[in-house]
Structure 1
Amino acid sequence: MIKVDNLSYSFPQKDLYNNVSFTIEDGQHCAFIGASGSGKSTLIDIIMDPERYLFDGKLEIDPNCKIGYVSQFLQRDKAKETSVFEYIAEEFIKLQEQIASICTEMETSSDIETLLEKYQEALDAFDAIDGDDFESNINRKLNLANLSKHKDKMISELSGGEFKLIQVIKEMLNNKDLMIMDEPDVFLDFENLNSLKNLINSHKKTMLIITHNRYLLNHCFNKIIHLENTELQEFDGRYIDYNLSLLQTKIELQELSIADDEEIAKNEIRIEKLRERATYNAEASNGRALKARVKIQERLEARRIKAPFVDIKQPNINLATNNEIEETVALKVEDFSVAFDEVLLEDVNFEIKSNDKVAIVGTNGVGKTTLLRSIFKNNHDSIEINNDIEVAYLSQMQGEVLDESNTILQEFYDAGFETYGEIRSYISKYGFGSDYIKQKIGSLSGGEKNILQLAKVSSSKANMLLLDEPTSHLDTYSQMALEDAIENYNGAILMISHDYQFINNCMDYVLMIEDKTIRKMSMKKFRRMIHANHFDKDYLEIELKKKAVETKIARALVDTDFELAKTLSEELEGLIKLL
């Protein structure tokens, strides 16, 4: 269906791809993975509209291939006054009305032949999307996604996660040959994530999906396309098998790469000694020895392993505080209520101590973000923040914290940094090289914007952090870095997240929003609830162990402890067999 051959493309600031090649065949479900900012979304844009881009190499797409697309961003405004059923059925209803209009026109027109051609075209288009059964197909998909109860609701009444699933259903039923989705799992709660998994697995046509969600990766795909460090590799098979192969290859290649680096360094010392000798002693033999040693160095450089997947990109997230205080109540919420068209939250009561790390959990649309934003604004009588507490906020709506019209340089000048050098040094720790510093924030990927938010939050040195979906769009290694940062943070954290594993790894307890109020829940009870209501217990327990081993392997590679990494990879292989 799609063939990419030696494609290269660059932005003015950086190279994105260097002679990448891959194929996508009919019926494959492809996961597209890679570090934040590696160019996944741009490559999808090139596939969908190659005429907009000047790239080197070849891109071959079946000329009859029709592409459906679901963006990582919500696009709801135009559909606010439409019901769920009408929104999904838009194309079907449009074609029905077109067919009916042509039939009416035939009754009085003398140009029957032209109208017959139009009629047949409309009928063929209707048949191509299985129009005769569209109502039952819509009902079937809504039922599969556990959204049947919302069929007659207005689109504006849905939560963000529910609307995302409705977008997915609409594109699926339009029966495109290739369906592309860019991080469709972002912000989905546990129930909606399962629904997305069911929808993906029910779809019989070709799919290409950008995702960092391990649950989807482990359950939905039979091909992996991995973009990293301007290069790409493809793998036919499951993600868990690919990930094991990748980790084992990383261990081997990084060990060889370090051996090469050591040999090159030793040879450089020999060259310097020979060069020094030749400077003071002009004998021909010294010159010949120097030339020979330089040639050896050139050969070593030429054969140096330059595998694109060896380097581990992990930002240095450091959540430090200016004002560490002894344990006290940092935040008190008492009888908090909020209503829009109807009551969203009422009689909410809880308190956070100055070193508590707490997750706010609940289904999409129950008021988690509204509560967190109210705490940050601190303009409600029911909210009391300790005078010694300084608060910083990370928003799932990245434009609330970042001015996307700013360059990174200007953003950090505005945040209180004083010199160019200070900013450049600081953001480099978060993976932004000097070529980024004058780049507009609006041009960054979703993951890069979230890393930049974390950099800005970190720079505030606040002793209470309000984090709304901090792992959204982040690649695996950035998530690992954030976990480490939260573990080492000495202040209070109140975090909204739907990432079960992240919550389990970082939080002390959970605040569960149910029936318009909040109750405190221990991590043990939370795990039991998740196992009972959403995910298979055995799968989750094995996946947690698997992630822990993968994290240890990644850290062993950072520490160049290859023997430990090899031992751990054997342990990982045993866990994968259980899956």
Structure 2
Amino acid sequence: MIKIENLSFSFPQKDLYHNISFTLEEGQHCAFIGTSGSGKSTLADILMDPEKYMFEGKLEISPNCRIGYVSQFSQVDDAKEITVSEYIGKEFMKLQNEITSICTEMETSSDIDTLLEKYQQALDAFQAIDGDNFESNMNKQLSMADLGKQENLPVSQLSGGEFKLVQVIKEMLTQPDLIIMDEPDVFLDFENLNSLKNLINSHKGTMLVITHNRYLLNHCFNKIIHLENKLLQEFEGRYIDYNFSLLQNKIELQELAAADTEEIQRNEIIINNLRSLATTHTEAARGKSLKARKKIQERLIARRIQAPFVDIKQPEIHFTTASERNDETVLKVSDYSVAFDEMLLENVNFEIKSQEKVALIGPNGTGKTTLLRDIFKNNQDSIEIAENVKTAFLSQLQGEMLNESETVLDEFFGLGFKTCDEISSYLSNFAFDESVLHQKIGALSGGEKNILQLAKISAGKADLLLLDEPTSHLDTYSQIALEKAIGDYKGAVLMISHDFYSIVNCADHVLIIDDKTIRKMSMRKFRQMTYARHFDKDYLELEQKKKAVETKIELALKNTDFELAKVLSEELETIIQRL
């Protein structure tokens, strides 16, 4: 369906791809992964509108290939006054009306040939979307997404997550040859995420989905395209198997690299000895030996293992507090209520201790973000923050905490950094290279903007972090780095999240919004509840075993114990087969 060969493309300030190649075949469900800012969304744009881009290489798309698209940004736009079924069926109703109009016109017109041609074109388009079964298909899809009761609701009354699902259903029902979705999972609560999983798995057509969501990656795709360090590789199979193949490569490459490093070090000693002798003896033979050894060293360094898909620079996120606190209450919320058109939260009560990590969860549109903002503003009697506790806020509206018209450098000069070198050194820990520093923040990817927010928070040394969907747009490497940073942090965290993995890996307990109030739930009970609804019986146990073995492999590689790493990888493979 789509074939790319040796495609290269650059922006003025950034090289994105170098001679990348891949194919997409009919019926494949392909996950498109890679670090933030690697150019995934741009490549999707190139596929949809090749004429807009000046690229090198070859792009072949099947003739008459119809491409549907779901953006990472949910925009209700002019649809807000129509119902869900009217929004989804807009094209269907347009074609239905057009066919009826042509038939009416044919009764009185003398130009039958022209009308017959129009009729046939409209009929072909109607059949392409399976018009005879459109309403039945729509009801099935809405039911699968748990949106059957919303069919006649105005679109404006949907939550952001529900509207995203409606957008997905709308594109699927037009039955394009290929659907491209750019992070369709962003900001979906777990129930909506599960609905998205069901929609993807039920779709018979070809899909290319840009996603970092580990739940979707583990349950939806039969092909992986990985874009990293300007290069691309394909993998036919599940994401979990792809990750395992990367781990096997990593063990093999690190073993080879260790051998290369030893050889380079031995050669360096010989070169130093020859150089020392050459300064005291003038024989031509010694000079020739030195030159020969230098050439050998150059070849060894040149062939040193390059591993663009396993040697990925992970951000080194690290949060510090202004001062360490004992087990004291840093935040107390008493009888908090909030309403817009209707009451969202009523008489909410909870408190957070100085080193507690708490996840705030609940369906889209239940007041979580409003609560977090009110805590950050700290201007209500119902919210009490302990004296001298410094707070920091990460917003899902990235332009709220970042000035998108400024460069990355400008943003950090106001945070106590005095020189460009100081900022450059600091941001290199967050995987930003120098080329990014002079870019406008507005030109960065969603993931890069979130990492930038985290870098600002890290520099601020706050005691209480208020994080609104911090893993949204983050690649999996950054998600794992953030989870580690939260785990190591000596302050308190209140985090809105729909990412099951982040909640399980970070939180001490959860606060669940239920019937307009908030109740506390232990992590054990939360795990049991979620797994009972969405996972097979043994999945939790197998996931935990998998993570434990992966941690042991990491330690073995750190200690250059490659034999142990290989034995452990065999154990890991057995677990993965059961998953």
Normalising by structure 2, report the TM-score: 0.96
CA distance in 2, matches of 1:515, 1:322: 37
Q: Deviations 1:309-352 (Å, cap 9, x if unpaired)? A: 23132111110011222322211111111111111111111111
Confirm or deny: 8 A CA contact 1:362 1:513 kept in the other structure: yes
Distance change (3 Å), C-alpha of 1:176 and 1:58: same
Higher mean displacement: 316-325 or 7-16: 7-16
Confirm or deny: 8 A CA contact 1:333 1:382 kept in the other structure: yes
Residue of structure 1 in register with 2:377 after alignment? 377
CA distance in 2, matches of 1:233, 1:417: 39
CA distance in 1, matches of 2:262, 2:58: 39
Post-superposition offset of 1:61: 0.8
| Pairs within 5 Å for 1:95-494 | 95-494=95-494
Post-superposition offset of 1:420: 1.5
Higher mean displacement: 100-109 or 160-169: 100-109
Code of the aligned partner of 2:85: F
CA distance in 2, matches of 1:547, 1:276: 51
Residue of structure 2 in register with 1:575 after alignment? 575
Residue of structure 2 in register with 1:57 after alignment? 57
Confirm or deny: 8 A CA contact 2:102 2:119 kept in the other structure: yes
* Partner secondary structure for residue 186 of structure 2: coil
Code of the aligned partner of 2:383: I
Percentage identity across paired residues of the two chains: 71
Confirm or deny: 8 A CA contact 1:250 1:309 kept in the other structure: no
Distance change (3 Å), C-alpha of 1:31 and 1:354: same
Confirm or deny: 8 A CA contact 1:32 1:224 kept in the other structure: yes
CA distance in 1, matches of 2:189, 2:513: 12
Q: Deviations 1:225-244 (Å, cap 9, x if unpaired)? A: 11122211111112222221
**Hey, which bits of structure 1, 4+ residues long, moved more than 6 A?**
none
Code of the aligned partner of 1:568: L
Residue of structure 2 in register with 1:39 after alignment? 39
Higher mean displacement: 497-506 or 23-32: 497-506
CA distance in 2, matches of 1:557, 1:50: 43
Code of the aligned partner of 2:240: I
Which sections of structure 2, spanning at least 5 residues, go unmatched?
none
Distance change (3 Å), C-alpha of 1:380 and 1:98: farther
CA distance in 1, matches of 2:439, 2:273: 44
Distance change (3 Å), C-alpha of 1:163 and 1:547: farther
Distance change (3 Å), C-alpha of 1:420 and 1:504: same
Distance change (3 Å), C-alpha of 1:70 and 1:519: same
Distance change (3 Å), C-alpha of 1:540 and 1:80: farther
CA distance in 2, matches of 1:304, 1:137: 55
Post-superposition offset of 1:392: 0.2
Q: CA RMSD in A?
A: 1.8
Q: Are 1:566 and 2:566 matched, yes or no? A: yes
Distance change (3 Å), C-alpha of 1:205 and 1:552: same
Post-superposition offset of 1:269: 4.0
Residue of structure 1 in register with 2:524 after alignment? 524
CA distance in 2, matches of 1:570, 1:518: 45
CA distance in 2, matches of 1:157, 1:80: 8
CA distance in 1, matches of 2:146, 2:551: 34
Higher mean displacement: 132-141 or 438-447: 438-447
CA distance in 1, matches of 2:568, 2:387: 47
CA distance in 2, matches of 1:561, 1:432: 31
Confirm or deny: 8 A CA contact 1:329 1:351 kept in the other structure: yes
Q: Deviations 1:424-451 (Å, cap 9, x if unpaired)? A: 1111110011111111112212211111
Higher mean displacement: 542-551 or 57-66: 542-551
Code of the aligned partner of 1:6: N
Residue of structure 1 in register with 2:503 after alignment? 503
| Pairs within 5 Å for 1:8-19 | 8-19=8-19
Distance change (3 Å), C-alpha of 1:550 and 1:442: farther
Confirm or deny: 8 A CA contact 1:190 1:534 kept in the other structure: no
CA distance in 2, matches of 1:228, 1:550: 22
Distance change (3 Å), C-alpha of 1:405 and 1:265: farther
Which sections of structure 1, spanning at least 5 residues, go unmatched?
none
Post-superposition offset of 1:560: 4.6
Confirm or deny: 8 A CA contact 2:404 2:441 kept in the other structure: yes
Post-superposition offset of 1:554: 4.4
Code of the aligned partner of 1:90: K
CA distance in 2, matches of 1:385, 1:431: 33
Confirm or deny: 8 A CA contact 1:480 1:551 kept in the other structure: no
Code of the aligned partner of 2:293: R
Distance change (3 Å), C-alpha of 1:40 and 1:561: farther
CA distance in 1, matches of 2:503, 2:453: 20
CA distance in 2, matches of 1:514, 1:465: 23
Confirm or deny: 8 A CA contact 1:92 1:131 kept in the other structure: yes
Confirm or deny: 8 A CA contact 1:358 1:495 kept in the other structure: yes
Confirm or deny: 8 A CA contact 2:246 2:310 kept in the other structure: no
Confirm or deny: 8 A CA contact 1:4 1:60 kept in the other structure: yes
Confirm or deny: 8 A CA contact 1:501 1:544 kept in the other structure: no
Post-superposition offset of 1:308: 1.6
Post-superposition offset of 1:555: 5.6
* Partner secondary structure for residue 188 of structure 1: coil
* Partner secondary structure for residue 69 of structure 2: strand
Post-superposition offset of 1:277: 3.5
CA distance in 2, matches of 1:327, 1:38: 42
Post-superposition offset of 1:522: 1.0
What is the number of equivalent residue pairs in this alignment? Answer: 579
Code of the aligned partner of 2:465: L
CA distance in 2, matches of 1:478, 1:283: 56
Q: Deviations 1:453-499 (Å, cap 9, x if unpaired)? A: 11011111010000111111222221221122111111110001111
Higher mean displacement: 177-186 or 414-423: 414-423
Confirm or deny: 8 A CA contact 2:339 2:345 kept in the other structure: yes
Higher mean displacement: 530-539 or 30-39: 530-539
Code of the aligned partner of 1:187: F
CA distance in 2, matches of 1:559, 1:63: 54
Q: Deviations 1:92-147 (Å, cap 9, x if unpaired)? A: 01111222232333344433322221121111101110011111110010011111
Distance change (3 Å), C-alpha of 1:237 and 1:465: same
Normalising by structure 1, report the TM-score: 0.96
Residue of structure 1 in register with 2:79 after alignment? 79
CA distance in 2, matches of 1:559, 1:212: 30
Confirm or deny: 8 A CA contact 2:369 2:496 kept in the other structure: yes
Residue of structure 2 in register with 1:21 after alignment? 21
